[in-house]
Structure 1
Amino acid sequence: MRNERSSEDVALGIRRRVFEHAMRNNGGYLSQACSAGEQLAWLYNEELNLGPPTLPPIPEPFGGVPSAGNPGYHTGAGYNGPAEPGYDRLFIAPAHYALVAYATLIEVGRMAPEGLDMFNKDGSSVEMIGAEHSPGMEVHNGTLGIGLSTAAGLAWGRTRKGEPGRTWVFMSDGEVQEGQTWEAVQACAHHGIDNLYAIMDVNAQQCDGAMDSVMEVGDIRQKFLTFGAACVEIDGHDLGAMRDAVREPHEGRPLIILAHTSPFHTMSILQERFPRLHYVRFKSEDERARMNASIAADLGVEPINYTH
């Protein structure tokens, strides 16, 4: 299933949807759309080999947790298509990027626009922090550091079963502060798991502020190499660089793409809030109006009428 639009167009569409949602709801995950727009557009629009969605375009309400009495339980992975041997699988490791991930699904035709209206509503499966039943999600990765381990286990199992499909992870740089990430890479190197791919949004900020103010992590690429991965550093807003990076030889090793990005790319007014950009809730109606006008101009759209 391929979208005929360019990935540049999809990235712009992602940002416009997240911007509109944030304005109408007095806040949102704006900086994640700034930094990750190209990465998610590239994955869904070009790189991933996914089948047609198996779940309804308009997400159904939360159907309850898996149990013997809930035979209809399913994860949200059906928006990425069927989990068949030849198809790729994707894990969104930082679950707080969910709003951006949902916008991506809409932009590539895997979810209906009405799905965003259900965001963070009682009884909805369109969770604010993506859960295993949320559109595009397969497991709950909300605790940073779990995503790469989860994907590594699946990738190893797929190798042992002879499945040709790849396993991908979208990550954020805060995850390198977690020991489990490094254990996963080391395990992959030990077992020769090379059907595992990850692209990391390296935007140098996290929920508590700038990365270095929380914990300095040093040379991330060198650490990944030392622990046994193949690792490439790129400009995370450069789609051509992503296309080149994925071709990096990595026999017997996972491939990690470090995508260096700006958390206010295409929304320049967010610099006023840096590094407190994890979730932008407007401090006043004046700030909301100023950001509305500024971001709309940056994205080439009309300011959002959020009063009705």
Structure 2
Amino acid sequence: MGGKRKRKNNTQQNAKSPKRARGQRTVHPKPTNQGKNPKEPEICHQAQSLFFQLPREIREMIYREIFIAPTTVHIAYVAGRKRTFRSFLCKLPEEQRIEKDPEKRNCPRYKIKHYNCSPRIKRNDRLQVASCPKPAEMQCTRALAFLRSCRKVYSEAIDMLYQENEFYIENPRTLLELPNYLPQSQLRLFRHLYLESPVYGDYSADDCLERWEEVVGALKRLDRLESLVVIIRPMFGLTWEREGLIKPLKNANLPVLDIASKTQVQMNPVGGLCPGLCPVHKRSSLVSNQG
């Protein structure tokens, strides 16, 4: 009996530990995961979130703190590999922004542009808006990440994002590209927009006005605007330059429109305030600003 039991144990041991050929590695089976795949995070129902258990009025207050910017928001088309558009907060003080007070359009202070409101990199011998944020910028508040966190946040806050903010488009091509990436339902959410025209004059490209007409055509897609300021940029401030830029705007029959002018080349005032200069700023402040 003992011998039979011994032979049985040897048989079981051989079955558990098969003889390995020379040079062959033993393959141990990996433990199987009886639960869910660890790579797939567990998705909780939105109703279980503590955030959505707050009253809607409280959530609205939180949304306003996150999605309504303290100043104008710049939108720039970058056509980068990782992103197509970028947004930045305006860095200019309000008193130096022509779009906020078109009556001062002849003041030399307005040679200051929104150029420095967005980070630039050199590409093809030109300084263009950087397509990717720097690590320091990534640490800043990222409101859009919260907007994409779940469908309910998006549905509750998307209208506020477009309707309650003021947007500034410096490069006209940005507006031309927006309808290619945003549906009409979102385009009609825009309420306040500032738009710059291309620089137009003797040295402009031959198709400058044709492309400007296309931009104005795209502008008509934003059909719920409550305020629209278009900053025209005649190269030398000549009458025919202004009229060339304004004509497509008038032909579009836009429901709301305010036009401000920013001349690319301006002369320094000679002796006191010249006619047409801003009467608010004295000569001393103009000279110090230009220096």
TM-score after normalising by structure 2:
0.34
Task: Report 1 or 2 for greater relative contact order, CA contacts < 8 Å, sequence distance ≥ 6.
Answer: 1
Instruction: Kindly name which structure, 1 or 2, has the bigger radius of gyration based on alpha carbons.
Output: 2
